[in-house]
Each structure stands twice: as structure tokens, then as C-alpha cells.
Structure 1
Amino acid sequence: MTAASPNNPVDIAELLAFYASAGVDEALEDAPINRFAEVRPKQAERAPVPAAPVRESRSDRRPPPQSGPESSKAPETSAASFSLDASKIPDAPARPATAAVPDEGQVLLARQLAASASTLEELRQHMAAFDGCNLKFTAKNLVFADGNPNAELMLVGEAPGRDEDLEGLPFVGRSGRLLDRMLAAIGRDRNSAYIANVIPWRPPGNRTPTPHETEICRPFIERQIELVNPKVLINLGGPSAKTLLNTTEGILRLRGNWRVHTTASGTAIPAMPTLHPAYLLRTPAHKKLAWRDFLEVKARLRALG
């Protein structure tokens, strides 16, 4: 019977095999420890490393007996504790004391900046200078708005896509072309409507914005709506409707039913949630539902004069 050598891979492999057969499947320490290189001034603090099993018998490996007063103690070592070279043992990743919490200070700053804007141009400048949303650093352009800021009708989507990010304007890709046709069907165009998004920067890969990203950008779009002060608001898609109408209902339940968006100053704006043009491109059969919603908007605008 021979002791395991730290420089002999065969010995180490057999020792690990013994631990595996004994049911050892996890380390007792968060970080791996090279106990061969470890200097232990007090032998009583740690149990000695068990010797390798008898190599002549693979069918019945048992740990060799240990001598000394500590032989009755269970060894503190485990399979993950051994390494051929201590310098190659990677450091265990640091564990945060608490879960990561988004910086609420950026949300507060966004609210302050939005509230301080007295014009749309000031709001645009504040948003362009704001670095509190991580989406800004992966987007090419700020996508602020398009259309006529004096229009009676305002439409709000969720976030820019690739084409919008490149041009710096909302709804200029396939979804935008469909939206133009939808507006034309009720006698409107970009000269008689104002278009924006809840999120002014394109999320990487067109992924869904996180709730925190949405919360950071919310004050900007709410102030934008307040400054435009349209007679009617159209929420294009579920995210826009949920964010601006403070609801958790799905868009298929929301659409076609008038809701109210209330600004910070207390102005109540009639809001029509409807299906996003991108959704309609994927589900053409539902275009008839959006058509009905736009007819409702046309009738409301006519009634409001």
C-alpha cells in the first residue's frame, strides 16, 4: 500500500475514484484548496489527508487505516480539494452579499430631468445627455419622435428596431410602412399625427426591454405625452398599453376598449390600445381588429372636433 503522490496523476485519479464510489459529490469549501501545498501549523485544526486505497484490488477499495489521535475524525477533504498545481486553481467567483438591485437613483434622475423640460426640444436634449439607461450605450441613435407635435393624435409604441435605430426615427421599417397605411385608412399621415416609443433606444438584438429599463424611460415618454397634449392617444402593442395605462391585462383583452392616460398635471387623455404593426405582420388575420380600433379613433377625433 502506498500513499498518493501529488505529482502522480494515476494516484490522484484512483483517490478521486475512491471518493466517487464513497458517494462524495460536492466540496466542503466554496473555493478549491490544494491541501498538498497548504501549510498547517496546527495539526489538530484539520484532519490529515487520507492515503490512497490499495491499488491491487479495484473491486473492493477501502480507505487505509490512519494512525495517530486524529484517525477517528472524518476527513475534511473532498474530491474537489485536490489539484496537481495550486497555481492553476481558479479563484472562486465572488458572491455578492445581497442580490443586485438596479440603481433607483437613475430613475429619480430621469424623473427630475423630464419634469424640468418645458418644451419637446428641451426634453430631447435631456434624453440625449442622460446616461442612466444602459440601452443608450448599445444603440446608434436616440429615437425621439416623428410627425407633427401639434397633432391631435399621438401614437406610442414600445422600442425602436434596427431600421429605426439607424435612421433615428420611429416606425420606419416594415412595421412603419404598415402603420402609414393604417393611418392613411383614417385620413391621417405623419403630418397629422405624432409618433414616439416608450423606450427611445434600441435594445440589443431587438430583445424585450427589462422592467427596470422601462421604468427608467417611463418619465420621458410621460412628459413627452404631456407636452404634446394630444386629443387622443393610441397605444401600439401590449408593452405601451401596460406602461402608460397602468394595467397588467394582455393586449387582446385591452384592444378596442377606451382607456384613459392621466398626465402628471392631471389631464385625462382618451387612449385606445391596439395591436402593434409588427404583430399584425406576423398575424395578418388580426388586421381587421386593428382596423376597427382605428375607426373608433377616427370617430372619437371627429366627436372632439
Structure 2
Amino acid sequence: MPGGALDETQALKALLEYYRAIGVDFALDESPHDRFAQAEYEIAAAEAPESSPAPPPPGPVTREAPPRALNVAAPLTPQAALEEAETIANAAATLEELREGLAGFEGGRASRARHFLFSSGSPAPLMALDYAPGEAEESGGEAFSGAEARLLDAMMAAIGRGRTSAYYAYFSPWRPAGGQPLAPHVTAALAPFALRHIALARPKAVLLLGDTARIVLGGAESPARLYARKFELQAGAETVVAVPAPGLAAMRKTPSLKRHAWRALRTLALILES
């Protein structure tokens, strides 16, 4: 043996001696076996009468593979989502039923939104419908609680209104990721809920903020061309006067837009006083 190296036989003996020293005294094969069952079998075989056949030895322990997960239902098509939205919204007889139906509706849910924010306050003659919760609302989980809501409060105060005499709600109760615009098919699916929300709240007039006006009123006109104009909005059996205004976030970024909001507020004040 060159260099004092062990031959194969000596190496195997040394390995076996090492195993014995650390307490390994039973060789196992690749398949797991129930050693307790094996011992019981050996005892039963030794005690069984010679005329009685010994029970068959236990085989390897086998485990069934876990059942494969059932296929998850495919997402609704835009048309199917719209039809489901209309069914759920029209079936709601109260605002609470509408809230519950919208909360369970997957076709309009923003995947990364942590909070479902429906509205703030109680139904009143004036309703403000904002596009979606802001960053502060998504962070804190409270509807109309951030800087944009404070701007809306100031707007309402300018015409003698407040949280007790105006009802605030969202077109989308989920904040889109990064505050981006909703996808067109999501917008279409949420529209029946918004119209039903207005119908159940039964305001005399509704302030449509930002892109909410274009969505709810329909048409392809630029939102800027809609500001401060009066529209008759059919919400179920109710006919409501709707007045568009710039979005709250846009007004905070571009203060010059507030003049359009002031015109819209004056129009609303005249409607509510008539």
C-alpha cells in the first residue's frame, strides 16, 4: 500500500467501526420501514403454531401524494364582471347591502389595496363622490381623513355645509396602486355600484369630483368641459342633479383649478336653496 493508505477492505471496516462507536447498529434501505411492526411480526411468527401461516411481513411505509389543488376559477371576463356588478348592485335595497355586495365583488378590487373604504357620514341633500381613497386614507384605513378631505371640508364650508349636512363617498372603495387611473374594465364594473349608491343615498344634488364625472355621466368630453355644468343623472328611479368639479388631488397640485370648483359650488348652492 503506497503511502500507508488503507485498502478498500480496511476502509470499510474502519467506517463500520465508526458507525458502531456512535451507536448506529441497524442498516436501513432507501424505503422507510415501520421497525415496530417488523419486531411485532418477528415475535408473532416465533409464537405462532407451526400449522398457522405467519402473517405477511410488513412492507415499506408508503405515503400517498397530497391531492393536487383544484384549478382556481378563471377571472371573469369584462362583460361577465359587468353583468355580475349590475346584478349585485340592483339587488341591494339599502346602503349597507350595497356596501356588503361591493366588498365581496372581485371584479373591481385593487389587488394591492389594504382597505375597503366606502363612505363617510350619513346620507344628506348634498353628496360628494370622489374617485378613490388617497394615500393617507389607504395608510390609515379611514375614509376621507387626509389632506384632500380637508380641502373638501373647506369647499363644503364655503357654501355652509359640513360633515353633518353632506355625504362623502368614493367611486372606487379601493385605492389603485400608486394612485393610478383604474383600468377601463374595472371602471365599467364599478359604475353600476356608483349609480346605485347615488340612488340609495337619494341626495338632491351630487358633486362629481375628477374623473368620476366622466365615468358616471358617460360621453367622451374632456372633464374640463364638464366643470360647473348641471346634468340630470338618472340613478335608478331617482333623477339627481350632478355638478362636476376638478379632482381633489388635482386641485392641491394645481391651485388654479380651484376657480372651477368654486363655480361648481355656487351652482350646487343654488340647487340646494331652490
TM-score norm. by structure 2 comes to 0.69
* Code of the aligned partner of 2:185: H
Residue number in structure 2 paired with 1:180: 153
- Is the contact between residue 198 and residue 217 of structure 1 (CA under 8 Å) also seen in structure 2? yes
Q: Return the alpha-carbon distance in structure 2 between the equivalents of residues 215 and 169 of structure 1.
A: 25
For 2:83, give the aligned amino acid: L
User: Is 2:102 the partner of 1:127?
Assistant: yes
**Partner residue of 1:138?**
112
Structure 2 CA distance, aligned partners of 1:274 and 1:157?
Answer: 10
In structure 2, distance between residues paired with 1:123 and 1:167: 23
- Give structure 2 stretches of 5+ with no counterpart: 1-74
Q: 125, 128, 136: which one pairs with 1:155?
A: 128
The residue that corresponds to 1:106 in the other structure is 81
Residue type matched to 1:201 in 2?
W
| Structure 1 counterpart of 2:268, one-letter code | V
Counterparts of 1:101 and 1:121 in 2: how far apart (Å)? 25
Partner of 1:208: 181
**CA separation of 1:167/1:226 partners in 2, compared to 1, >3 Å: closer, same or farther?**
farther
Q: Which residue of 1 aligns with 2:264?
A: 293
Aligned partner (choices 254, 259, 266) of residue 283 of structure 1: 254
Distance 1:204 1:197, change over 3 A: same
Q: Which is richer in helix?
A: 2
Change in 2 beyond 3 A, CA 1:105/1:256: same
Residue 231 of structure 1 pairs with residue 204 of structure 2:
yes
Q: Which has the higher contact order (CA 8 A, sep 6+)?
A: 2
Q: Which residue identity lines up with residue 108 of structure 2 in the other structure?
A: C
Q: Could you list the runs of 5+ residues in structure 1 that have no partner in the other structure?
A: 1-99
What is the rounded CA distance, in whole Å, between the counterparts of 1:170 and 1:249 in structure 2? Answer: 29
In 2, Cα distance between equivalents of 1:193 and 1:140:
26
Distance 1:229 1:300 in 2: 15
Match of 2:194 among 210, 221, 239: 221
Any conservation in 2 of the 1:145–1:169 contact (CA below 8 Å)? no
Deviation digits for residues 211-260 of structure 1 (CA, Å, limit 9, x no counterpart): 111111111111111000100011111x1111111122112211121111
Name the SS for the 1:230 alignment partner. Answer: coil
Q: Within 2, Cα distance between the matches of 1:250 and 1:277?
A: 17
Deviation at 1:293, TM superposition (A): 1.5
1:281 positional shift: 1.0
Find the aligned partners of 1:185 and 1:117 in 2 and give their Cα distance: 34
SS in 2 for 1:248: coil
- 3-state secondary structure, aligned to 1:262: strand
- Report the residue type matching 1:257 in the other structure: R
Report the counterpart of residue 197 of structure 1 in structure 2: 170
1:255 paired to 2:227: yes
Matched pairs, number: 200
Separation in 1, partners of 2:104, 2:248: 30
TM-aligned CA deviation for residue 161 of structure 1: 2.0
Query: 2:78–2:185: 8 Å Cα contact kept in structure 1?
Result: no
C-alpha RMSD of matched pairs (Å): 1.7
Identity of aligned residues (%): 37
SS in 2 for 1:280: helix
SS state at 1:132 partner: helix
Whether 2:216 is the aligned partner of 1:240: answer no
Q: Which residue of 2 aligns with 1:40?
A: none
Does structure 1 conserve the Cα–Cα contact (< 8 Å) formed by 2:108 and 2:187? no
Q: Secondary structure at the match of 1:293?
A: helix
Matching residue's letter, 1:273: P
- After superposition, give the CA deviation of every residue in 1:16-46 in whole Å (9 maximum; x if it has no partner): xxxxxxxxxxxxxxxxxxxxxxxxxxxxxxx
Shift of 1:117: 0.8
Q: Distance in 2 between matches of 1:110 and 1:161?
A: 24
Distance 1:214 1:286 in 2: 24
